[in-house]
Chains A and B, each alone.
Chain A
Amino acid sequence: AQKITQTQPGMFVQEKEAVTLDCTYDTSDQSYGLFWYKQPSSGEMIFLIYQGSYDEQNATEGRYSLNFQKARKSANLVISASQLGDSAMYFCAMREGYNAGNNRKLIWGLGTSLAVNP
Chain B
Amino acid sequence: DGGITQSPKYLFRKEGQNVTLSCEQNLNHDAMYWYRQDPGQGLRLIYYSQIVNDFQKGDIAEGYSVSREKKESFPLTVTSAQKNPTAFYLCASSADTYHSGNTIYFGEGSWLTVV
Query: A residues within 8 Å of B by Cβ?
Result: 31-33, 35, 37, 42-47, 50, 52-53, 91, 95-98, 103-106, 108-111
Contact = CB atoms under 8 A, between A and B. Distances in A.
Contact of A52 (B92, B97, B100, B111): B100
Interface in B75-110: 88, 90, 92, 97-98, 100-109
A53 to B, nearest CB: 8
Interface residues of B, number: 25
B106 A104 contact: no
Q: Chain B interface secondary structure, helix, strand, loop or mixed?
A: loop
B103 A96 contact: no
A105 B109 contact: no
A34 to B, nearest CB: 9
Nearest to B97: A104
